[in-house]
């Protein structure tokens, strides 16, 4: 009798492609330019991605787009979150800013585009080329999700 078992990772392995974007744009401006250049319709999610660690919470903005023709779900995700910390010392109000990264090993990446589903590599290449043509985007490229240590944060 042969016994088959599924590993713990088998249940959570989601098929998706990942694109990294370097830009100085705010999230809403990037979403607008992507909509204009990729013929997408990104809209801001009502819920942010929340990552909690050591009694601190980081909030990452997410924009969604659902392509009904190809049945792809797209997510534009910010890679960094800024939190202001206020302290009072000698009657002075001091504020410091803490920056948290969703994927710490990719600190140079400002935004990720996660395209869920089995997507042809040629489609990803064309998409990257269109993103690179946006004047305010510094660069864009495909990221191997298997090389990421923190890829679990991209499962939502």
CB-CB contact of 142 with 18 (8 Å)? yes
Per-residue confidence at 119, pLDDT binned at 50, 70, 90? confident
* C-alpha pair distances (Å), 125 with each of 11, 91, 94: 29, 56, 47
Per residue in 70-115, pLDDT (tens digit) is 778 999 999 988 877 666 666 666 777 778 888 889 999 999 999 9
């Amino acid at each position: 009798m042969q016994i088959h078992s599924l590993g713990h990772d088998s249940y959570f392995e989601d098929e998706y492609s990942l694109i990294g974007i370097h830009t100085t744009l705010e999230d809403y401006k990037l979403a607008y330019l992507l909509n204009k250049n990729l013929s997408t319709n990104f809209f801001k999610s009502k819920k942010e991605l929340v990552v909690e660690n050591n009694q601190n919470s980081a909030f990452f903005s997410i924009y969604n787009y659902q392509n009904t023709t190809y049945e792809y779900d797209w997510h534009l995700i910010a890679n960094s979150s800024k939190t202001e910390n206020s302290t009072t010392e000698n009657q002075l109000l001091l504020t410091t800013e803490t920056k948290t990264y969703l994927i710490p090993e990719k600190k140079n990446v400002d935004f990720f585009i996660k395209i869920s589903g089995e997507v042809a590599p040629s489609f990803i290449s064309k998409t990257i080329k269109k993103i690179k043509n946006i004047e305010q985007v510094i660069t864009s490229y495909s990221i191997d999700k298997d090389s990421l240590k923190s890829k679990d944060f991209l499962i939502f």
